[in-house]
Amino acid sequence: MKIVFLAPFGIRPKGTLIARMLPLAVELEKLGHQVVIVAPPYTNPEDSGRTEIVRGVKLLNVSLGPRHKALAAPFLAWRMFRAALKESPDLVHLFKPKGYGGLAAMLMVCCERLGIRMPRLFLDTDDWEGEGGMNDLVRYSGAEQRLYAVQESWLPPRLSGVTVASRMLEQQILAMGVPPQRLLYLPNCVEDLPPASGAGVRERLGIPAAAPVVLLYTRFFEFDQARLHRILAQVSRGVPEAWFLVVGKGRHGEEQQLAEASRTLGFASKLLVAGWIEPVELPAYLAAGDVALYPFADNLVNRAKCPAKFTELLRAGIPVVADRVGQIPEYVAPELQGLLCDPGAEGEMAEKCLALLRDPDARKRASAAGRAFLVTSYAWRDYAGLLHNFYVKVTDSAQR
């Protein structure tokens, strides 16, 4: 089949295309499909109007319109609509219901209802966007919030099929009236790439070779900041030689808050904030850690998420102490469920981190078991096969 993926934004610097869309496209092409990604590159305007090949997949960056969001919306939605149809696809798969791609999909639905033949239209959702979801976390305007909430509820019941990245999203979509046979659970997966070495990163950052490193790979909005500060302080008191490496950046200066707290709580000399790292360098930064922390507040937006960062940590071969929220337990090997914490239990998270820091053999066992379970149970190759079957089943059913 010829398939068009409608992207929510450009390929840089955000990770959704690289972490979810692109590996799916690569595996679908291995199965004999032809996949084209159509993206609105407002996150990387230097690529406006450019066509490129990424890992063998054709990526069309539509030309940007006016800079003002409201003025740009009809231009970008129309250009995505036209670019998708120009490919003459058998089906179009929209990733995220909101924004410019969502508007292009809504236009396709309206055309279909007017009797204009359109390709089969599917939706992929990996976040809850409306109230209690991303609308509460991102500083959208009131008009944007209302639009995204409408798109999220209007599109799923009107499309041929929906793929969801989490069990919570599965429940939310079913509640919209989408029949189970038109729904596919499609969690974030991984490719079985060998773990990198973190020795060079440690040397570059000035971390002693023998020092234990606690890694935090995050965007910060997934948890309470004060709780994180107290956890790190407790770990620092328990293992004073431990270093703390932060990979990622907050939306509202949370890393500065962490730096200030570290000075007050006494671990500033061992705190390193690397910020966002280029994808090619990221595996080495993750491999620099001995233990990773993954605090995750128990709220709707987190329960609906399928945290790709969590899978990246496990694939890197790092034991992860995480909160037992949403999808996280599904990714953890049965024998490692003991590394999960009750949400909000900061003492428990610190104690489990300290236990691993003090026991190199336990770290080694957890690293191997966690990685093996992930790459065998959540391979993109396997789930791309399920997606292929879903496309065929839904398309054949609609043609009867």
| Band (136; pLDDT cuts 50, 70, 90) | confident
Domain range 2-189+379-399, its CATH number among 3.40.50.2000, 3.20.20.140, 3.30.230.70, 3.40.50.1820: 3.40.50.2000
User: Virtual CA dihedral for 390, 393, 394, 395, nearest 10 degrees?
Assistant: 120
CA distance 245 to 399: 54
User: What per-residue confidence (pLDDT) applies to 22?
Assistant: 95
Cis peptide before 179 (omega within 30 of 0): no
Q: Return the CATH architecture of domain 199-377.
A: 3-Layer(aba) Sandwich (3.40)
Token pair of 324 as six digits: 């037992």
pLDDT exceeds 70 at position 399: no
Task: Give residue-wise pLDDT tens across range 196-217.
Answer: 999 999 999 999 999 999 999 9
Task: Give residue-wise pLDDT tens across range 274-302.
Answer: 998 988 899 999 999 999 999 999 999 99
Residues 6+ apart with CB under 8 A from 355: 362
CA distance 240 to 259: 17
pLDDT exceeds 70 at position 400: no
Sign of the dihedral defined by the CA atoms of residues 171, 172, 174, 180, in that order? negative
CA distance 157 to 66: 32
Token pair of 311 as six digits: 């899978």
pLDDT exceeds 60 at position 164: yes
Number of C-beta neighbours around residue 167 at 10 A? 16
Domain spans of the chain, in order of start: 2-189+379-399, 199-377
User: What per-residue confidence (pLDDT) applies to 284?
Assistant: 96
User: What per-residue confidence (pLDDT) applies to 148?
Assistant: 93
Q: What pTM did the predictor assign?
A: 0.92
What does the DSSP 8-state code read for residue 270?
Answer: G
pLDDT exceeds 60 at position 256: yes
Fold match between domain 2-189+379-399 and domain 199-377: yes
User: What per-residue confidence (pLDDT) applies to 230?
Assistant: 96
